[in-house]
Amino acid sequence: MSEPLLQAVNLECERDDRVLFRGLSFSILPGTLIRVEGPNGSGKTTLLRILAGLNDSYSGDLLWRGKNRHGFREEFLRNMLYLGHRPGIKPLLTPMENLRALMDGRRPVPDKILWQALEGTGLGGFQTVPCRNLSAGQQRRVALARLLIADEPLWILDEVFTAIDIQGVGALERLLVERVENGGAIVVTTHHDLRLPSMQRVTLGGGDGHGY
């Protein structure tokens, strides 16, 4: 059970002649939440994109359930959910259509469930309004609705709390805690002061943040 889902071994990433991190190793176990910390520009987003498989200019190894991830692209992607800065919401489509399109690539879900998920993120009544008429926070909530129905065991969430109001933040924290208690694995970055039980930290931008 406590086999790590994803393991980073000796990760190193260099960007524009600057070493962002070096010799970074950690394991993502089921039932844990890992918070990636560091000042602006320390490579938090880059690390998350590397973990998600979007950025492959790194050296070191990424092991998916103990084996090199390269051979398990399909299985890895099936079991991983990534939400980035740009949440993948098309301004021209409605929240329903957006959620539909995002889920269509991953899992068949009936419309009723999608509708409920949007209600669950506080978008009840906005389901069929084009997203460009929604506020930034509401647009993020459309993307967050995926978390209410996602069954991927590994979540990688970049700045999830951005543009969400205080009450929403509280609810979202509860969602993450519950998820972790049920055995999900979550990696997050956030500037919001997140204090969850059994939260692990990966800190970037430490001593060897530069290569000279």
Partner 1 sequence: MWQIFHKLGSPKWFFGIASKLMPWLLWVGAAMLVAGIVWGLGFAPKDYLQGNSYRIIFIHVPAAFLAQSVYIMMAVAGLVTLVWRMKLADVFVRAVAPVGAILTFLALFTGAVWGKPTWGTWWIWDARLTSMLILLFLYFGVMALGAAISDEKSSARAVAVLVLVGVVNIPIIKYSVEWWNTLHQPATFKLTEKPSMPAEMWVPLLLSVLGLYLIFGWLACLRMQTEILVREGRTRWVKELVQARGN
Partner 2 sequence: MAFDSLGAFIAMEGHGPYVWTCYFVFFLLMGAISLWSLRQRRFVIEQQRRRTGSRAMPDNSPAGANFTRIEPSQD
Partner 3 sequence: MATEPVIGLRSPDLSVGTVTAMKAVFVRDLKTAFRQPQDLLNPLLFFVMVVTLFPLGVSPEVSFLQQAGSGILWVAALLSVLLSLDHLYRHDFDDGTLEQLVLQPQPLFLLVLAKSLAHWVLTGLPLVLLTPVLGIMVHMEGNSVVVLCLTLLIGTPVLSLIGSIGAALTLGLRSAGVLLSLLIIPLYIPVLIFGTGTVTAAAEGAPVEAQLALMGAFLVLALTLAPFASAAALRISLSNS
- Give the nearest distance from C-beta 207 to partner 1 in angstroms: 18
One residue of 41, 60, 69, 79 binding partner 3 per CB under 8 A: 79
- Phi then psi for residue 95, to 5 deg, are -55, -40
Residue 40 interacts with partner 2 (CB under 8 A)?
yes
Provide the 8-state DSSP code for 41: T
- Please report the beta strands in 66-197, taking only residues with DSSP state E, as ranges in sequence order: 67-68, 80-83, 154-158, 185-189
Chain-centre distance for alpha carbon 134: 22
Residue 108 interacts with partner 3 (CB under 8 A)?
yes
Q: Is the dihedral of CA 46, 52, 54, 57 positive or negative?
A: positive
By CB under 8 A, which span of 9-17, 82-90, 137-145, 194-202 interacts with partner 1? 9-17
One residue of 4, 30, 41, 53 binding partner 2 per CB under 8 A: 41
Provide the 8-state DSSP code for 210: S
One residue of 7, 32, 42, 138 binding partner 2 per CB under 8 A: 42
Show contacts with partner 1 in window 28-67 (CB under 8 A). 57
Q: Are 180 and 186 in contact (CB under 8 A)?
A: yes
The binder of 12, among partner 1, partner 3, partner 2, none, by C-beta within 5 to 8 A per type, is none
Residue 205 interacts with partner 2 (CB under 8 A)?
yes
Residue 15 interacts with partner 1 (CB under 8 A)?
yes
Residue 212 interacts with partner 2 (CB under 8 A)?
yes
Provide the 8-state DSSP code for 4: -
Residue 84 interacts with partner 3 (CB under 8 A)?
yes
Max Cα distance, the chain (Å): 56
- Give the nearest distance from C-beta 161 to partner 3 in angstroms: 17
Per the DSSP assignment, residues forming a β-bridge with 66 are none
Give the C-alpha separation, 94 to 100, whole Å: 10
Provide the 8-state DSSP code for 69: G
- Residues forming contacts to partner 3 in the complex (CB under 8 A) are 1, 30, 52-57, 73-75, 77-80, 82, 84-93, 97, 101-102, 104-108, 130, 151-153, 179, 181-184
